[in-house]
């Protein structure tokens, strides 16, 4: 397993290799060895140096390995040259993650998203992946230069990519319709590094069982559950796909429709594994992907999970470090301990009251547009029709409240 490192400490390089090993295990392969090299810049032909290629070939031979996985993304030419030099199959981190996603996708939507990402990754690498496709077809009517099988497959893949994009656009429109039907609900999205415990948090919050496994990318399909925070006060919480270091850009793009659940959420819960030695780097990776998705300005609460794995002293030191590093809101949870999520429940309830305050609205009975907007944008708790006016007790998002206050004749009593 090749993993060249650049401008990183030996501890970080070790952590990166460990993560690559866990990805390999998730994909169903057995790690039999590893190799690393510090480089000022990648070798144009092999990514690693030629001497290191010779060393790697000996490692492959000694361990009778049939697959070499690089932690860095290889160009199509580098992958082809390495396979010829090593005499065995070579993958990079991006291809490995794509392979894992392909085996973990369950819903029709996620399967289309993964297929799209794989085809976009495969297209520039066809010559290496399918060397037999360069043969020229012959025969009557096909003499002359003709069209190579490689060109045919490129055209077919391009057509399939376009077809998948159109189907996913249909899914996006359907999701938008579904989100509009939930506009009155207070929504929360769980985001975070893979295996940070998002599914465990959602399962414990909702009391609804979800598939949980101590492996990277245990779940790909988003799950939404209703969580009751207090009597008659509930929120919808969605668990999104986990992020990872060097997530292939094809996957970020193709899973954009799934991650759009986070773009419309009232608040994001960034779940972080407090027991992981590389939690700080993982936090930065998630923030980079959120920024790429245009979510950098969304309200975010840091949820440091798995504190049950820390001793009391370690937890106190950890809290002090977090307080010194960040001015973001942060809480500490355990999805496994009884009462380990009560602080999170309380904070979500406060957030619900802050963003969706309970109001007393007095609206002229003739203003059907205003009344309809309250039902469309908010949650109506009670209604009383009195002669020429309608009295409503409702929770409204502050933008909707602002629009309502501009209408003549509408009276609002409650938080400003």
Give the domain extent around 127.
Answer: 105-168
105: closest CA among 227, 254, 4? Answer: 254
**Residue 179 domain flag:** no
Let me know whether 281 and 360 are in one domain.
Answer: no
> Could you give the CA distance from residue 31 to residue 20 in angstroms, rounded to a whole number?
10
56 three-state secondary structure? helix
Let me know whether 223 and 349 are in one domain.
Answer: yes
Return per-residue pLDDT of the chain as tens, 416 residues.
Answer: 554 444 557 778 888 888 899 889 888 889 998 888 888 889 999 999 999 999 999 999 999 999 999 998 898 889 989 999 999 999 899 888 888 888 877 778 778 888 888 888 888 877 665 543 343 344 333 334 445 666 777 888 889 989 998 988 888 788 777 766 666 678 899 999 988 888 889 988 888 876 666 556 666 667 888 898 887 788 889 888 788 888 777 777 666 656 766 777 889 999 999 999 889 999 999 998 888 878 878 889 999 999 999 999 999 999 999 999 998 889 999 988 878 899 999 999 998 888 888 899 999 999 999 999 888 888 888 999 988 999 999 888 878 888 888 888 888 887 65
Q: Please count the structural domains in the chain.
A: 4
**Residue 174 domain flag:** no
Residues whose CB is less than 8 angstroms from the CB of residue 275 and which lie 6 or more positions away in sequence, other chains included? 306, 307, 309, 310
Pairing, β 411-413 against β 358-364:
antiparallel
Let me know whether 88 and 116 are in one domain.
Answer: no
Let me know whether 253 and 340 are in one domain.
Answer: yes
Let me know whether 311 and 367 are in one domain.
Answer: no
**Residue 173 domain flag:** no
Let me know whether 346 and 198 are in one domain.
Answer: yes
Place of tokens 């975070």: 192
299 three-state secondary structure? coil
Place of tokens 């799950």: 223
**Residue 177 domain flag:** no
Q: What are 113's two structure tokens?
A: 């998203």
82, 100, 118 - which closes a domain = 100
The count of other CB atoms within 10 Å of the CB of residue 155 is 11
Q: What's the Rg (C-alpha) of the chain?
A: 27
Let me know whether 350 and 365 are in one domain.
Answer: no
Let me know whether 158 and 80 are in one domain.
Answer: no
């Amino acid at each position: 397993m090749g993993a060249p490192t650049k401008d990183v400490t030996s501890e970080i390089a070790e952590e990166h290799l460990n993560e690559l090993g866990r990805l390999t295990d998730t994909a169903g392969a057995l790690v039999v060895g590893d190799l690393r090299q510090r480089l000022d810049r990648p070798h144009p032909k092999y990514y690693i140096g030629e001497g290191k290629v010779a060393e790697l070939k000996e490692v492959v031979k000694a361990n009778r390995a049939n697959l070499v996985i690089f932690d860095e993304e290889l160009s199509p030419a580098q992958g082809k040259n390495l396979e010829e030099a090593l005499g065995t199959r070579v993958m990079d981190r991006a291809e490995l993650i794509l392979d894992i996603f392909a085996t973990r996708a369950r819903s029709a939507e996620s399967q289309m998203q993964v297929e799209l990402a794989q085809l976009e990754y495969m297209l520039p690498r066809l010559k290496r992946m399918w060397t037999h496709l360069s043969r020229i077809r012959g025969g009557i009517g096909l003499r002359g230069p003709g069209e190579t099988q490689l060109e045919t497959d490129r055209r077919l893949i391009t057509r399939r990519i376009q077809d998948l994009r159109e189907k996913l656009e249909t899914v996006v429109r359907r999701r938008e319709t579904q989100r509009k039907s939930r506009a009155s609900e207070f929504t929360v999205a769980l985001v975070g590094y893979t295996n940070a415990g998002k599914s465990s948090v959602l399962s414990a919050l909702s009391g609804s069982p979800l598939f949980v496994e101590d492996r990277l990318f245990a779940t790909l399909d988003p799950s939404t559950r209703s969580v009751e925070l207090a009597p008659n006060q509930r929120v919808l919480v969605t668990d999104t796909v986990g992020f990872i270091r060097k997530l292939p850009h094809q996957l970020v793009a193709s899973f954009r429709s799934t991650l759009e659940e986070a773009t419309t959420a009232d608040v994001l819960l960034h779940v972080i594994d407090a027991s992981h030695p590389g939690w700080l780097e993982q936090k930065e990776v998630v923030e980079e992907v959120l920024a790429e998705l245009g979510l950098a300005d969304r309200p975010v609460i840091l949820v440091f999970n798995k504190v049950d794995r820390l001793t009391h002293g370690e937890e106190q030191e950890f809290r002090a470090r977090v307080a010194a590093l960040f001015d973001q809101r942060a809480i500490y949870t355990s999805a496994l301990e009884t009462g380990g999520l009560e602080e999170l429940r309380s904070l979500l309830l406060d957030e619900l009251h802050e963003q969706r305050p309970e109001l007393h609205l007095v609206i002229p009975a003739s203003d059907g547009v205003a009344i309809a907007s309250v039902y469309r944008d908010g949650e109506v708790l009670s209604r009383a029709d009195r002669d020429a006016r309608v009295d409503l007790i409702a929770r409204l998002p502050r933008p909707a409240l602002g629009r309502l206050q501009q209408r003549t004749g509408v009276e609002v009593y409650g938080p400003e």
